[in-house]
Chains A and B, each alone.
Chain A
Amino acid sequence: MNYLTDLNMKAAFNVAQLCSQKMVKAKNRKKIGGSIIHMSSQLGRVGCEGRNVYNMNKFGLEGLSRGMAFELAQYNIRVNTVCPTFVETPMVKKFFKNKKFKNKMLKNIPLGRVAKESDVATAVAFLAADSSEMITGTSMMVDGGWTAQ
């Protein structure tokens, strides 16, 4: 619990604060804008068995993101999260060695497949670019419909 919370919450906060403090120093920040993207999860929006600490951490990150968006708006710095479902990463491959777990999780994804790394990366890039200049304090769900049910 301590390991996960220190990494997923405390470190996430520290990095976000340090970067924001640097970003607001730019004199033309209001004009050029800024974008902060937190890597959250669909489990920042809904519960999942065996994931209660991760739930606590990622819901927490969603809260931090809203609070930051609120306070950094005056500097034209936008703050959003990306909430993927299970993504084909080494970490998830390890979880999915448990076939029962894998099948159970896949059943929860209406699209019936896990996300690719590129699915998430494009969402991040969209939020980083000015294509999303009026989007702040929100979460982009990349979850194949998991949380829509």
Chain B
Amino acid sequence: MGIFLKDIELKGKTALITGATKGLGRGAAKAIAQVGGNIIAVGRNQSELNSLGKELKKFKVSYIPFNCDVNDYEKLKNFIIKLKKIDILVNNAGTNLPESFLNVKKTSMETLLNVNTKAVFNVAQLCANQMIKLKRKNCSIINISSIFGLVAGQKRSVYSMTKFGVEGLTKGMALDLAKYNIRVNSVCPNIVLTPRTKKYFSDKKYNKYVKENTPINKVVTVSDVATSITFLASEASSMITGSSIIIDGGWTAK
């Protein structure tokens, strides 16, 4: 008999989360800690790393903050290869610079590919290697993708290129890591209200565009996504790998 949703717990498990101080990453950290998982938070803002630590205190889990840019491969590597425990990766750090295709600046294209594609790959590879080296059991990697990993959107051609890429990486990793019992999945949220997307929603036209395209007439919340991440991190999803949970209020079902 497997485990039921109400029995989800991650006691004794350790989750590394990138982009952990804001938005979806912060939500995932809180949700995982709530069910007993220890947190390693990677972020670039020391005061936000500290405030996350304070917020997690009530859950009585261990907390390791690591101030690092995901583009800094050497610094990441030196940190990850020294970890004593890692069972879960929430590969979350990502960004977006919306521009219409014909006017995409070369610098923004490179920034998006570096953060959303190359760094996502590097973090995943470093963590998977460490999980195998430590002979951890029942590991789970969750890549944060997007509905724009499945369909196109206005001014999202580069973002779609990076997020479709994350979907491909997820499937490829799932096949290569299955023999180590490391599961790899992605979550594909609609546009979630976070500090980064706040400015998009302040544009009335954009607000209307999102509403019109979402059959369930509401905005996806951080906790909607954190719940799916926690489910994928736990043994409640022990036969799910190489797949995506789509949290989009029906956007891509049309």
**Could you tell me which A residues sit within 8 Å of B by CB distance?**
1-2, 5, 9-10, 13-14, 17, 20-21, 24, 43-44, 46-64, 66-72, 137
Contact = CB atoms under 8 A, between A and B. Distances in A.
B168 A47 contact: yes
Given A9-B161, A62-B164, A20 B172 contact: no
Contacts of A21: 102
Q: Which of A17, A47, A63, A70 has the most CB of B within 10 A?
A: A63
A50 B166 CA distance: 16
Interface residues of B, number: 42
B152 A67 contact: yes
A64 B161 contact: yes
Interface of B: 100-102, 104, 106, 109-110, 113, 117-118, 121-122, 125, 148-149, 151-176, 242
Contact of B168 (A14, A60, A67): A60
B158 A51 contact: no
A46 B151 CA distance: 16
A84 to B, nearest CB: 16
B172 A9 contact: no
28 contacts: A1-B118, A5-B113, A9-B113, A9-B161, A10-B109, A24-B102, A44-B164, A46-B171, A47-B171, A47-B175, A52-B169, A55-B171, A58-B168, A59-B167, A60-B165, A61-B164, A63-B148, A63-B149, A64-B157, A64-B158, A64-B164, A67-B101, A70-B153, A70-B154, A70-B157, A71-B100, A71-B157, A137-B152
Given A1-B121, A14-B106, A17-B102, A57 B168 contact: yes
- Of B109, B113, B165, B173, chain A has the most CB atoms within 10 Å of the CB of B165
Contacts of B163: 63
Contacts of B117: 5, 9, 56, 60
A88 to B, nearest CB: 24
6 nearest CB pairs, A to B: A59-B168, A63-B164, A47-B171, A67-B157, A52-B172, A60-B165
Contacts of B102: 17, 20-21, 24, 71
Nearest to B106: A14
